A and B are shown apart, each in its own frame.
Chain A
Amino acid sequence: MIKWTLILAAYFTISLSALADNLPQPLGSVILTISGQIENTQDGKTVRLDLAQLKQLKSNTFNIQTRWSDSAHRYQGPLLSAVLNYVGAKGSVVHLTALNDYTTDIDQEYIDKYEPILAWEEDGKQLSVREKGPLWLLLPNDKFPELNAETHSGKMIWQLTQIEIR
């Protein structure tokens, strides 16, 4: 009897952790798809998020000037770490892909050090694709001057739509 109970308990534990499709489905239009080594999913494999869901995550605001602009602007959006935490990311490398197929990789250490945001709003206005939306990964180059160097500018991927955790 005990043996059977244990087997049953083990079965439930395994099936629950394997499924883990516990995250809510998006209601609006999807702006970010996350896949790869993640623990929390919607369908067992990926997480598709709309703006409303991203707005619920811990966010930050940067008042910065990028090399692509002549003046400083106010950017707001969820912390990348909050997004990764939300999906239970387990990998060490975050592979980011933009609408124009531009890709870049950043690792966990980099995220911990610079705390990038996925900005969806510039000066109170939602970013369109024409304005580097729907999401633009931004680094606080006001706090860390070294982020103005070209190697870091290349990490500030815009028109971001897909994240794969590797």
Chain B
Amino acid sequence: MLHKEFKNRFNRHKSILLLPIVLIFFISAIISFVQLRQSLSILEQRYGTSVWSMFQLGVELHRFDDALGIYHSDPAALKQLQQRYDILWSRFPILLEGVDAKHLGKVNGATSLLNNTFNTVKSFESHLFDSPLVTPEQIANMQSVLRPYTEAINKLSLENYHYNNQSFNRDDRKIASLQEQLILLIIGLSISGSILLWMVLRESKLNRYQAEHDSLTQLPNRVYLKKALASHCELSDSFALHLIDLNGFKDVNDTLGHHIGDILLQSVSSRLIDRIDREYGCITTRLGGDEFAIIQPSTRNEHDLKKVTDQILRLFEDKFHIGEQSCFIGVSIGSAIYPKHATEAGSLLTRADIAMYKAKELSPISGSALFDFKMDAKIHRRQELHRDLREAIINEKLSLVYQPIVSLESENVAYFEALLRWNHEIHGPIPPQEIIEIAEHYGLANKLGCWIIDQTCRQIGLWKASGFNPLPVSVNISPSMHRLDLAMIINKSLESYGLPKGLIWIEVTEDTTMQILKETQEVIPTLNQEGISIALDDFGTGLSSLSHLQQLPVQTLKIDRSFIRHIPTDKVSSRLVKNIIGIGHDLGMKVVAEGIEDLAAARLLASYQCDLGQGYLFSKPLHPNRIPDFCRDQKEKCSNSIA
């Protein structure tokens, strides 16, 4: 708590702190740069060449003096004397302009001495070049004129040397003081740089923490869980993963508000941390919403695992108090063990999830389940069927069979019910209910429904073409299909095979019709207007009430087989069925009895005025090719019995 408070305070002051630190850093950096530039320019100035040039001038003056001496004893050496003169001459411009002249300008009297000496040297030119001979007097004269200048130049050379040394010393001291300041600046740079670095590292640590933790409960999140699972999977130690889903949380959110929901999640988290993480060394994470995951390390057997799951269940036996409100919350716990159930994080999560759904299925309030490979097989089958169903629809691997529905009075065929068949390569025949369920679950229901309608229309067309006068066929509509424009789909399909309206009827279950009524009132009347007769399928098994039956503009009522099976022997069943038939007739519906398997039932139903019957007594579902023959036989049978 204290730590948290410190953290908040730090965050508040962070921006105020950051500005001076950044300022110190940049000012130090800029001043250091300027200082270094100064030091460098001082060092550059030190390399003046005026000292060298001055001494060179001295040397050339002496050489010229020597050359004059040589010429005196050997007049043939005029050329050499002239060259020495030219070389001496050439030394002056160097000292009177350019960098060296600038340096020498700082030494008192240097420039004027140099100019005077140069002029004196220039005055010798006529003696040396104009006549073929230089007289001994001229030589003596030149030597004596030049001597004081040579001495003065030598003196100036030394003065310049000392001056340079002094300025070297001065510059050295300056550089030393600059470097002392530089040390301070570098300390400033290092400290502010270190603080900045520390702040950056702290910020990135905070970011990492935020990326791996849930802001509401401060628990590690899904990202953290995946990392933790992966690292646990690398160790050889076995561990358990518990997935926890709260039951009834949505209701709390809906009735008490999201604010209360959030507080509830926080108190769930703190219960889990206090009683599970602290006591059993587990790691609780929040996956999002009302889902949590717990890693239980070193889980040797199911006994270890049960200790934790039982404790979790116990934690939820007590009410949660939120301000003045209090509520019970249930949990479903699904557990899977590494490496027994999965050796990789992803599949471990999937399997704990499967177990969690199993727990929910077993007990909707609170319960736990450990993963079992049988659960996986069921899920696996579902996933496989889902994968293959799409392909089966496209590649026409599905088929339809047709079961006749006959008049109980005349035994003539009234219409057919189209039933879906799928012979799966691995799983064999798949029950139609399962196909529909999978289609609904994975969003294939509409595609499948349209395929059934189209296939049925095509079949009616084929029958018609073969000379068989077609009868209506009813198709089963899956719950979500009513959201489409069903009437348009059916009639368009009929039209495309050149068939009149009214040949396709639909069958819907009670629950589906309830859904339809809940969402829209217009679907059923529209279907009726478009000549599509509606049958209420499996009546008596769903959740509709008689009052709803009154609202439903359906034409046919199909009594579920579970009622029909026992009517010859069970009085209660037979009375119930008799009354349902009566109610159906009162509401203007035709009544069909499903699942008629023996003659006694058929006779009893006929005596109750039941209109139509369906079942093995008359015919099992037939391949479409056999339908025309069956109808012909049935017709003959009827006319014979009348005769």
Contact = CB atoms under 8 A, between A and B. Distances in A.
B97 A70 contact: yes
A100 interface: yes
Given A67-B99, A129-B90, 4 more contacts: A68-B94, A70-B101, A128-B86, A129-B83
A129 B98 contact: no
Contacts of A130: 86, 89-90
B60 interface: yes
Contacts of B49: 67, 150, 153
Contacts of A131: 90, 93
B87 interface: yes
Nearest to A129: B86
A149 B47 contact: yes
B97 A159 contact: no
Interface residues of A, number: 17
Contacts of A132: 90
Contacts of B171: none
B372 interface: no
Nearest to A71: B97
B100 interface: yes
8 contacts: A67-B49, A69-B97, A129-B86, A130-B86, A130-B89, A131-B93, A158-B90, A159-B87
Contacts of B83: 99, 129
- Interface class of chain A by DSSP: loop
A37 interface: no
Nearest to A102: B56
Contacts of B44: 149
A100 B60 contact: yes
Nearest to B100: A68
A129 B97 CA distance: 18
A66 interface: yes
Q: Which of B47, B60, B87 has the most CB of A within 10 A?
A: B87
Interface in B61-94: 83, 86-87, 89-90, 93-94
Given A150-B47, A150-B49, A68 B86 contact: no
Interface of A: 66-70, 99-100, 128-132, 149-150, 153, 158-159
A153 B100 CA distance: 13
Nearest to B101: A70
Contacts of A67: 49, 98-100
B47 A70 contact: no
Q: How large is the interface on B (under 10, 10 to 19, 20 to 34, 35 or more residues)?
A: 10 to 19
A158 B44 CA distance: 23
Given A100-B60, A150-B47, A68 B90 contact: no
Nearest to A151: B47
A68 B96 CA distance: 9
A66 B86 CA distance: 21
Contact of B97 (A68, A100, A150, A158): A68
Given A100-B60, A150-B49, A153-B49, A69 B86 contact: no
Contacts of A70: 97-98, 101
Contacts of B97: 68-70
Contacts of A99: 83, 87
A101 B184 CA distance: 50
A154 to B, nearest CB: 8
A136 to B, nearest CB: 11
Nearest to A65: B98
A129 B100 CA distance: 20
A107 to B, nearest CB: 22
A67 B99 CA distance: 5
A99 B98 CA distance: 22
Nearest to B63: A100
A99 to B, nearest CB: 6
Contacts of B47: 149-150
B95 to A, nearest CB: 9
Of A68, A128, A158, A159, most buried by chain B (CB within 10 Å of CB) is A68
Contact of A68 (B60, B87, B99): B99
Closest 3 CB pairs of A and B: A129-B86, A150-B47, A68-B98
A71 B87 CA distance: 22
B98 A159 contact: no
Contact of A100 (B87, B93, B99): B87
A129 B99 CA distance: 21
Nearest to B60: A100
A128 B82 CA distance: 13
Interface string B228-263: 000000000000000000000000000000000000
A100 B63 CA distance: 10
A15 to B, nearest CB: 39
A149 B44 CA distance: 8
B98 A69 contact: yes
Nearest to A69: B98
A68 B49 CA distance: 10
Interface centre among B49, B56, B90, B93, by most chain A C-beta atoms within 10 angstroms, is B90
Nearest to A154: B49
A68 B50 CA distance: 10
A31 B344 CA distance: 89
Interface string B93-113: 110011111000000000000
B353 to A, nearest CB: 71
